[in-house]
Every structure is written in C-alpha cells, then in structure tokens.
Amino acid sequence: MASIGWVLLLFLAQLHTLLSTSIAHRADGGNLTHLPVSFLCHPNQAKALLQLKKSFSFSRSTTRLSSWRNGTDCCLWEGVGCDPSSGHVTILDLNNRCLSSHGLDPALFSLISLWRLDLSMNDIGGDNIQSAGFERFTFLTHLNLSNSGLYGQIPPSISKLVNLLSLDLSTYNIDYSLGFYGPNYYDYYNNLWESSFDTFVANLSNLRELYLDSVDLSNSGEEWGTSLAAYVPQLQVLSLADCSLSGPIHKALSRLHSLVVINLQGNFDAAAGPFPEFFMDFPNLTVLQLSETNLEGRLPSRPFQSKNLRVLDLSYNMNLSGHVPNFSNASSLETLRLDGTNFVYAIPTPSSNFASLKELALNRNLISVDFLSAFGRLKSLHQLDLHCFLDNELDIDLDSGSDLGPIFSWIGQHKNLTSLGLFGCNFSGVPPILLSNFMNLKNLEIDNCDLPRPMPDAIGELTNLRNLYIEFAWFSGPMPAAIGELTNLRNMYIAHCGFSGPMPPAIGKLTNLRNMYIVDSGFSGSMPAPIGNLTNLEAMDIHGCQISGLIPYAIGQLNKLRWLVLRGCNFSGSIPSSIVNLTQLTMLDLSSNSLNGT
C-alpha cells in the first residue's frame, strides 16, 4: 500500500511539473474574448473562487483580481492554474498581493484538487483559522502561508497533509531598506505557536522543506530534533530561525544527512551545546546558519565534507572559539560571517580559493592586515561588515589593531563593494579621502564608531548610495553641504550623532529620499526651507534636536508624507497652514515644541 502511494505521488509530482509549464504559458493574459467558448474551469470551482474574492478587502492590495469575473474561464484568472485535462483548479498563488480578510473563507476548502497554495504576504488571519479544513487538501504538496497574519496554534489540520513536500509558515522580517515606515508589514507577521512538535510532524513524512521561522516552539521541549529525525527522514531544508528552541542540538539530527539548508539562528537562550560536528559530514550542505545560538567550545579544525557550501554564518556565538573554519576548497563559498565570535586565525589560514566570496563579516580578533591580505583581493566581494569590538564582557584588548588606516587600504581595493558596515571602529587614523574608493556603495552603515572630526566632504562622492545608516557616531562640526550630492539616497537614518550647527540647505537636493529619520543628533538653527523639495518623502521623523524657529511653510509640498514627526525640538510660532495639504498622513506628532495655532 505504502509503495503504491509513493509511486502515485511521484507520478503526480511529474504531472504537476507539466502542469506548471502549461499554466505559465496560458496565464499571462491575452484577450478573453479570443478564447474558445467551452471553458476548462468547473462552475463550482469558479463559484468557490468568487466567494473567496468576496471575502477579501482590497483597500491596500496590489491587485483587484479584476480577471476574476463570473462567466469567464477561471483557469485563466490571475494566480489560478488548472489541470489541462480535467480542468480542476490545482494552483492558487496569490503571493504578495496585500489582500486582507478576516480569516479564510470556507469556500477555499472546497478546492480539494489543489496542489499548490500560496497566500503569503497577505493579511488573512482570523479566529476561524484553527478550525480551517486544510485536511481536505489531500493532494497538496506545497503550502506557503508565510507572513499571512496568522495567529494562535498551528492549525492541526495542516499536520494531516501527508503529501506535503514543502511547508512554509514563517515570518520573514522585512528589510529596513524597504523603508522604516513602509506599508504596515507588521500586519502580515504570523504569530504562531506549537506545543506538540512531535504530533505536528508525525505524519509529514514526505516533507523536503520545512520553514517555521519565528513560530514559537518554546513549549515543544528538546525533542524537536529527535522528532524530525524520526518522522521526516528526507528533509532537505530545515529553517527554524527564532523559534525559541531549547538545546542542545540533538545528535539524532545526524540522521538527516540529506539536509542542504540548515537555519537555526536566534535560538537556544540556554546553551545550544558544542558545535554540532556532524553537520560537517552532510555531503550536500550548502547553507549553515547558526548565528546567535549560544554555541560553545571549539570548532573542529577539519574541513566540511560538502563541496558546495555557499553560506556559513556562525556570528554572535561569543563562546565559540578555535581557528577560522578550515576550508580545503572554498571556491563555492559566498557568505562567511564570523563577527561576534572568539575565533582567531593562524596564518596562512585562508590558503583556499575565495573567488566567489560576496559577503564577509569579521570581528576584531580577525581584523588585521596580515589576515585580510591572506584572502587576497576578493573579486566578488559586495558586502563587508567589520565589527571592531566584541562585547565588552569579553575583555578584549582594545589597543591592538584599532588603526583602520592600512585596513582601509585593503578594503579600498574592493571597488565593487555595495555594502559596508563598520561597527565600533576607530576612524582616527583613516584618511577621509579613502571613502571615494567606494563608488558602487549602495549601503553604508556606521554604528558606534569613534569619529572625532567633522563628517568628511568625501561622503558626497558616494553618489550611488541608497541607504545611509549612522548611529552613535560622534562627529564634531556641522553636516557638510556635500551630503546634497547623494541624489540617489532613499533612506537616511541618523541617530545619536553629535552634529553642530544647522542642517545644510543642500539637503533639499536629496529628491529621491523616501524616509528621513534624524534623532538626538544635535542640529540647531532653523530648518532649511528647501526641505520642501523632498517631494518623494513618505516619512520624516526628526526628534530630539535644537532646531528652532518656524516649521517651514514649504513642508506642505511633501504631499506623499504618511508619517510626520517633529517632536522635542525647539520649533515655535504657529503650525503652518500648509499642513492641511498632507492628506496621506497617518501619523502627525509635533509635541514638545513651543508651537501654537491649530
């Protein structure tokens, strides 16, 4: 019986591949009037879909599902795919439409022929999700309900989907570069928990991909590893980031040697135990993310078995020590993050070939010219993060290696860098002109750095910059007018930086700016009127400053503003009447100033 089921599953999986290609071909539009009169779609399935459509609110959506019209072939509707011979609806993919509904309409569960259901990035949470009839989807192989606004226990009916190959119930954090106050993505966050992980996975024995990032598994005990090993032997992707898992990482997991992706980052408040050495033996491992897992002890100095390791992230495991991982051949490595660890290097350690390395993050133990030079010039490097200090608890000698000058020269060879992050670094010895080496930089993040002089004019040469993020960096002197040259800037975040003097009027040249966040950063004088030229601004949040005088009348020109905070400064006089033109505002806070008027 079991083997017949398995053969059927394989057959169906292949049919499914065929289907997706034929659907992709048919789904991309065309004028409905040119279609044959006989529809593929079954009327009852069209009816169920229309019922579903009725349950959605389209207030923030990126679609109105206008192709979903009674009397037309539902197999051609947006996001719908059908089996070409039977006409049954097999795919419903409404991923990332920002639709919202209060729970899932029961009509959905009459589409029992579905293979693939993706409602991710829509707000569909509601009380009825617990009793939802997922068990009716007996053919379902792919279910994606990530970022869908779900809350409560994982619906038990999902654990009955024995044919599932891929399950995604994660909450993915939205990257800040999308905008600090972008669409209200929090509405889409799942807030799910599961206290009986063992029961949950017991019948999901065909799973190849399991993504439960941010699902609260804190009450599932330590058996999550043994349960997975016992019930889900063919697992290839295991993603349980930020699940409040309890450690240690059980050695039963060594049975899951087909794993290709392992992401357990942000777990194990209590120790995860020693580095799970058996992961090094998985032949197909490509991604290993174990940052912030409280690993302790030493990393074994033998190489990984896998020839295809792309991502190795061991960052923020303060008690993990030993030498930098030993790569016999690192030619496939793209990401190496070792910041916040206690690794040391032994020259000549990186004798391997790092030609593919795109992202490198190191902590101060490793930031030395000797070590970096051993990497050679990294032709593919796009992102570099240097954490010049460790947690103070670890009592690292702060005097050695703090001179960034020669290190900047090494960095400066990497003209393809698009992201540079500097954390706790001392810039005293760095010639400001070195900044102009990074013409391709899109993201610059400076946090907790000692900057005992004015911001250099050379900042204006980073003309491709999209995101500027500076926090706890004590500049002396004013912000240079050269900042106005950053005409591609989308997001500016400046917090706890000691600028003196007024904001430069040239700031009005940053006409692509979407989000401006300036907090506790010391500006004084009046606010420059050209700020009214930032007409693409969606959020302006300036608080904790000495800026005085009137709020410029020109602020009323910023008609895309959805968020305006000018709190805790020294503004006085009357609130400009032009503010009534900011019709998109959802947030207005002018408190703790000396303003009057209405």
Instruction: Give the binding site for ligand NAG (CB under 6 A).
Output: 31, 33, 47, 50, 70-71, 95-96, 120-121, 144, 146, 159-160, 166, 168, 199, 202-203, 209, 211, 257-258, 283-284, 294, 301-303, 307, 318-319, 323, 326, 329, 331, 346, 349, 353, 379, 398, 402-403, 414-416, 426, 428-429, 450, 505, 508-509, 530, 533, 556, 577-578, 580-581
- Report angle CA 212, 216, 221 to the nearest 5 degrees: 105
Q: Nearer Cβ to ligand NAG, position 326 or 443?
A: 326
**Closest CB to ligand NAG among 31 and 596?**
31
Place of tokens 């500097």: 422
d(CA 257, CA 283): 7
Least distance in Å: CB of 206 to ligand NAG?
13
Instruction: Please report, as a single letter, which amino acid is at residue 320.
Output: L
- Residue linked to tokens 């992230």: 313
Strands 142-144 and 89-93: unpaired
Three-state DSSP at 8 gives helix
Closer residue to ligand NAG in complex, CB, 428/476: 428
In terms of DSSP H, where are the helices of 56-138? Answer: none
Minimum CB distance to ligand NAG, residue 38 (Å):
16
| DSSP code for 497 | E
The nearer residue to ligand NAG, 505 or 573, going by C-beta atoms, is: 505
CB nearer to ligand NAG: pick between 326 and 491: 326
Smallest gap from Cβ 340 to ligand NAG, in A, equals 9
Smallest gap, in angstroms, from Cβ of residue 146 to ligand NAG? 5
Residue 326 Cβ vs ligand NAG, minimum distance, rounded to whole Å: 4
For ligand NAG, the closer of residues 131 and 428 by Cβ is 428
Residue 232's nearest CA partner among 259, 208, 250, 249 is 208
Nearer to ligand NAG, 406 or 544 (CB): 406
Per-residue b or e along 545-558, where b marks 16 or more CB atoms closer than 10 Å to that residue's CB: bebbebbbebbbbb
How many angstroms separate the CA atoms of 577 and 571, rounded? Answer: 15
Q: For residue 567, which of 586, 581, 588, 552 has the smallest C-alpha distance?
A: 588
The answer to whether the CB of 170 falls within 8 A of the CB of 194 is: no
Nearer to ligand NAG, 79 or 530 (CB): 530
Task: Pick the closer one to ligand NAG by CB: 215 or 519.
Answer: 215
**Residue 407 C-beta-side C-alpha neighbours within 13 Å:** 25
Residue with tokens 């040119």: 34
Residues in the chain: 598
Q: Which of 93, 89, 99 is nearest to 122 (CA)?
A: 99
Q: Which is nearer to ligand NAG, 435 or 519 (CB)?
A: 435
Of 69 and 102, nearer to ligand NAG (C-beta) is 69
Least gap, CB of 540 to ligand NAG (angstroms): 16
Minimal distance, residue 130 CB to ligand NAG, in Å: 15
Least CB distance from residue 259 to ligand NAG, whole Å? 8
Minimum distance of ligand NAG from residue 198's CB (angstroms): 9
The DSSP bridge partners found for residue 320 are 297
- Pairing state of beta strands 261-263 and 237-239? parallel
The CB-of-408 to ligand NAG minimum distance in angstroms stands at 13
| In the block, residue with structure tokens 């907090």 | 519
The nearest distance, CB 568 to ligand NAG, in angstroms, is: 25
Cβ(354)–Cβ(388) below 8 Å: no
Q: Could you tell me the smallest distance in angstroms from the CB atom of residue 554 to ligand NAG? A: 8
Nearer to ligand NAG, 341 or 543 (CB): 341
Nearer to ligand NAG, 47 or 250 (CB): 47
**What Rg value do the Cα atoms of the chain yield, rounded?**
28
Shortest Cβ distance from residue 559 to ligand NAG (Å)?
Answer: 8
Q: Which amino acid is at 367?
A: I
Residue among 304 and 499 whose Cβ is closer to ligand NAG: 304
Distance (Å) of CA 42 to CA 47, 82, 112, 363, 481: 9, 10, 13, 60, 65
Rounded to the nearest whole angstrom, what is the least distance from the CB of residue 521 to ligand NAG in the complex? 20
Distance from C-alpha of 514 to C-alpha of 60, rounded to nearest angstrom? 19
Cα 382 to Cα 76, 213, 349, 405, 450, distances in angstroms: 41, 26, 22, 20, 24
Contact 214, 170 (CB under 8 A): yes
Residue in 583, 543, 595, 545 with CA at minimum distance from that of residue 567 = 543
| Paired tokens of 482 | 């050269």
Nearer to ligand NAG, 33 or 85 (CB): 33
Least separation in angstroms between CB 12 and ligand NAG? 19
- Tokens 């990074």 found at: 438
Strands (DSSP E) contained in 439-490 are: 443-447, 467-473
- Write the CB contacts of 60 (distance below 8 Å, at least 6 apart in sequence): 98, 100, 183
